[in-house]
Amino acid sequence: MPLNTVVNARDGSSRIVLSEPSGSRAEVSLYGGQVVSWKNERREQLLYMSTKAQMKPPKAIRGGLPICFPQFGNFGALERHGFARNRFWSFDNDPSPLPPANQQSTVDLVLKSTEDDLKIWPHSFELRVRISISPGKLTIIPRVRNTDPKAFSFMFALRNYLYVSDISEVRVEGLETLDYLDNLMRRERFTEQADAITFDGEIDRVYLNTPTKIAIIDHERKRTIELRKEGMPNAVVWNPWDKKAKSIADMGDEDYTTMLCVDSGAIETPILLKPCEEWRGRQELSIVSSSYCSGQLDPRKVLYGDH
């Protein structure tokens, strides 16, 4: 049977440990409802966690998989990335009507609006996430229900801090020819000209109308992380590079070399929910072994092949 246990971390926080028979495991913090670790069957870490991350309020956890709600970045009047990542979540005792998670190790968490939240964002809501692991895969299913008498709109994003071997050797494929908003250029709109995104400096972009599948190719590890998403039409690509990394208090100066954020989100066009309506998204991160031919990966196999 898959394991689902609660442990106390060295920093005093409570974490849910998800594990499955092949040996992969994930750790989820109730603070932020956030995946803070995901390891494959060889116990290799797949998510970046800052060497200076703080695991307690009021600071958000720098790394893992933060949940951005009801705002992404500074695309609104709230604190950066909203407040869901700065709150303590609860176990969800009513996770239906999702289908059962067969042969997966799963935890269901919920965040409900409090009086303090209503003072800064006056909309009553329930935010649920189901986090599951299976061999080579981490799945997150977020749901937002409007429990308010009035309609409201919100942004949502799953920020994926991926652990990579060397940022200068990583390629992101699947976003070529798409329009994006460049956060380094006051959100000016551009069209991606490269056949793949590679990295030699700071990048902070919101790609629009993105496909359901994006590939993050780590040449040095001969590994590809496949991102599949539903209900989140935007993808964010972010790396602070050296100068910005030094200005981020809870990030190591050299951490930028081994991390990359490729996020799923509904950012450009906020989601509108009427009273009692519910929105649902889905994200899967999968590990795919890269096959090489003359030192080059065939991107068609990554993007269009069956895995």
pLDDT in tens, 191-202: 999 999 999 999
**CATH code for the part of the protein at 4-295:** 2.70.98.10
For residue 1, the model assigns a pLDDT of: 35
CA angle 14, 161, 111 (to 5 degrees): 45
Longest alpha-carbon distance in the chain: 61
- Sequence spans of domains, the chain: 4-295
Question: Is the confidence at residue 52, as pLDDT, over 50?
Answer: yes
Give the percent of the chain with pLDDT over 70: 88
Burial level of 114, CB count in 10 A (0-12/13-18/19+)?
A: exposed
| Cα 183 to Cα 111, 169, 207, distances in angstroms | 29, 23, 11
Q: What is the tens place of the pLDDT at every residue in 107-164?
A: 999 999 999 999 999 999 999 999 999 999 999 999 999 999 999 999 999 999 999 9
Structure-block tokens of residue 83: 């407040």
Q: What is the tens place of the pLDDT at every residue in 236-279?
A: 999 999 999 999 999 999 999 999 999 999 999 999 999 999 99
For residue 103, the model assigns a pLDDT of: 59
User: What end-to-end distance do the CA atoms of the chain give, in Å?
Assistant: 25
Q: Which pLDDT band holds residue 10 (cuts at 50, 70, 90)?
A: low
User: Is 22:3 a contact under the CB 8 Å cutoff?
Assistant: no
Structure-block tokens of residue 154: 């919100």
> Model pTM?
0.91
Cβ atoms < 10 Å from Cβ of 137: 18
User: Is 203:252 a contact under the CB 8 Å cutoff?
Assistant: no
